[in-house]
Amino acid sequence: MIIRDLVEADIPSITAIYNDLIATTDVIWLEEPVTVEDRTAWLRSLRPDDAALAAVDDDGTVAGYAAIFEFRAKAGYWPTVELTIMVGREHRGAGTGQALMDELIARAAASGREVMVAGIDGGNTGSIRFHERNGFETVARMPGVGRKHGRALDLVLMQRSLTPADPEDDGSHAPRP
């Protein structure tokens, strides 16, 4: 498995992965498939500090993809990035997601980011456990904030610090003199 930057030539493959997840899971809260143009616009919308990655098999097949991107639009949120990891059905459980996560964490830390946030469908216990194994903690569960096929869906927010804990930090997050 090779982890490399995602390029526009990968977009048909990542669109197929994305659409399979829409059709077969609640991972993505959409009911209709997206187009290659949609995924192209997504890739082009990423900023220079973001990272988009592809996990590619030895035979050139894109097994999954991932990205870190701006958490919120205001400058004060700069230390925080959100992440997404999408793995093709035939590659789940084979280490593809872990390889992508490892690289996302390394790139976020190298760019000076301090916190990673993941928004996960509340019914996706496998993804929640995966994030827990990677140092993420659940910080919120938002009941019924999503809908798919007429069903209410919960959003679980998880986060991981990328900086060592400061033993003098009392948790107030107040600026130090």
Backbone phi, psi, residue 56, to 5°: -120, 130
Residue 15 lies in a domain: yes
CATH of the domain at 37: 3.40.630.30
Q: Which domain holds residue 115?
A: 2-161
The confidence score (pLDDT) of residue 173 equals 44
Residue 173 lies in a domain: no
Q: Percentage of the chain surpassing pLDDT 90?
A: 79
pTM: 0.88
The confidence score (pLDDT) of residue 57 equals 87
* pLDDT level of residue 153 (50, 70, 90 thresholds): very high
SS3 71: coil
Backbone phi, psi, residue 43, to 5°: -60, -45
Residue 96 lies in a domain: yes
The confidence score (pLDDT) of residue 164 equals 66
The confidence score (pLDDT) of residue 170 equals 46
Question: Whose structure tokens read 């976020």?
Answer: 108
The confidence score (pLDDT) of residue 172 equals 45
The confidence score (pLDDT) of residue 1 equals 87
SS3 107: helix
Going through 77-122 in order, the beta strands assigned E by DSSP cover: 80-87, 115-121
Half-sphere exposure of 28 (CA within 13 A, CB side): 18
Who's near 17: CB < 8 A, 6+ residues apart? 62, 64, 65, 86, 87, 88
pLDDT in tens, 102-144: 999 999 999 999 999 999 999 999 999 999 999 999 999 999 9
The count of structural domains within the chain is 1
* pLDDT level of residue 54 (50, 70, 90 thresholds): very high
Polymer length of the chain = 177
Residue 12 lies in a domain: yes
Rounded distance, CA 169 to CA 164, Å? 11
Residue 45 lies in a domain: yes
Of 115, 109, 62, 116, give the one whose Cα is nearest residue 86. Answer: 62
The confidence score (pLDDT) of residue 166 equals 54
* pLDDT level of residue 64 (50, 70, 90 thresholds): very high
Residue 167 lies in a domain: no
The confidence score (pLDDT) of residue 177 equals 30
Residue 176 lies in a domain: no
Residue 19 lies in a domain: yes
Sign of CA dihedral 38, 40, 46, 52: positive
The confidence score (pLDDT) of residue 165 equals 56
